[in-house]
Amino acid sequence: MKSPKSRPSRISLNPFVHEVKLTTAQKIQIGLMSFTVFPVRILFAVSFMLLAWAFAYVGALGRSESVIEPQTWRKRFFDFGVRMSMRAMWFFCGFHWVKVKGQKADPSEAPILVMAPHSAYFDAIPVSENLCTFVTKEMGREVPIWKSIIEYVRPVYVLRGDQDSRKRTVEEIKRRVTSGESWPQLMIFPEGTCTNRLGLISFKAGSFIPGLPVQPVVLRYPNSLDTVSWVWQGPGGLKILWLTLCQFHNSMEIEYLPVYKPSEEEKENPALYAENVRKLMAKALEVPLIDLTFEDRKMMLSNGPLRIFNFSALLEFNQLVVRLGLKASNTSVLEQQATKARKLQGERLSVEDFAQGLGLPVSDKLQQVHGMFDEKEDGHIDYRHYVIALSTVCQPQEPKETLKLAFKMYQNEDDGSVTEEDLATILEIMLGVEKMDLSGLFLSLQEDTGKITYDELCEFVDQHPDFTYNYIRFKNHPGSFCFSSARSNGKDHKKRD
């Protein structure tokens, strides 16, 4: 599969993975502090969290959920109690002081604070110190004690994957920032998920839709050992808390950048507005832009012997099908596409035929998708290649389901087998690679007929967890410095053309 864009892809880093590597000295320090400092810190941190909960719970009694109350002495008292209790909790977590650069703008000047990168639950420090409201996951309602503290600042809840919930979230953001009432500033992490701070992933447009000025806020943790990053693949929440509380001091910097006022073009195009603010913040952080989204994380974290090796073209394909509304919501949709491809029997489609089959008009984006599978550069594609790629990006952590779907489109009706050449094509698309050589696989089979069934392949993969390293080869294979044909027992295996 070819990339549809001429510009270099900015996805060389995986922002969803973090590994904590400890030196011998650090291991000794953590071991000693685990039995001395850690118990004391956790005791006081929990105590002050409970105190913050008490202030928040009592302070929220009897108030309206949709209307902000005026600044009375009672509200100021409970605000102060929550703020000071939370600051004490962070102190006993090792954040003895927090360095602040720049000046936080007044809500009338910038009703929304855009914060990045989002990498840890310690990112809540500026939220608690300013008692800003924020956007958070719906599951936050289920956490005892913490729930009352969160709800004290009246967050905007969002349910991931629910389009209606996301729409309601945007509407609530617009209502608050344009109501003219004295709502606290809204802090938003536009990345929508935690990353390892190696770069800034794509921003969601929700906070930019109102078209109002925003103040970018960048967060840094300038520590020699990163114990705070809580990402999709790495230390769990409890381990992060333990490692962080076993540090003598944890540094954090909050920098308030100048208020960003959108142009008329940016007001009309929230995606452009979000991208320009992201570039500004990346420059301040001195980190690269990474063109990934929260939805791309499953592809970047695919694992196992049939995991994706080269994400570039598949990620770009995924972004295109999402924009075209072609992303399959369930397996039945993929089955329908596979049935359609099977009926075509390998017939090659022009872009007009491709568009007609999808029920869409010919557009630049559709032409880009079509061009990704035009390997012969003759303006025609095999529809089966598109279906394999679609299944791969829709269920990247279930490669065997994509494999099963592909076999249904390619298999011989008599014995359910596919040829070596067709299997190479299937695996090239699934793994995102080029020039697949399966000679190592077929030489390892009990009977090399140049064909293989789905069950035979799955059984072989299950028995050989190192399948992609020892039994296949492709361009830029991680197990070799060059692409070469496999040999076994001194017997040559003829490569496919």
Residues 286, 312, single domain; the answer is no
pLDDT given for residue 10 in this prediction: 59
Which domain covers residue 347, as residue numbers?
302-434
Same domain, 34 and 148: yes
In this structure, are 280 and 308 located in the same domain? Answer: no
**Considering 434, 449, 467, which residue would you say is the last residue of a domain?**
434
Give tens-digit pLDDT for 271-300: 999 999 999 999 999 999 998 888 888 888
**Residue 253 banded pLDDT, cuts 50, 70, 90:** very high
- Look at residue 353 in the predicted model and tell me its pLDDT: 94
In a domain, 474, yes or no: no
Does residue 8 carry a pLDDT above 70? no
Residues 92 and 212 in one domain: yes
Q: 115 and 209: one domain? A: yes
* Averaged pLDDT of the chain: 87
**What is the percent of the chain with per-residue pLDDT over 70, rounded to a whole number?**
92
pLDDT in tens, 344-368: 988 999 999 999 989 999 999 999 9
| 377, 401, 434 - which closes a domain | 434
pLDDT at 124 over 80: yes
Residue where a domain terminates, one of 416, 434, 452: 434
Give the chain's domain count: 2
Angle at 492 between CA 489 and CA 496, to 5 degrees: 135
> Does residue 485 carry a pLDDT above 70?
no
Task: Answer whether residue 177 is part of any domain.
Answer: yes
**Rounded distance between C-alpha atoms, residue 267 and residue 272, angstroms:** 9
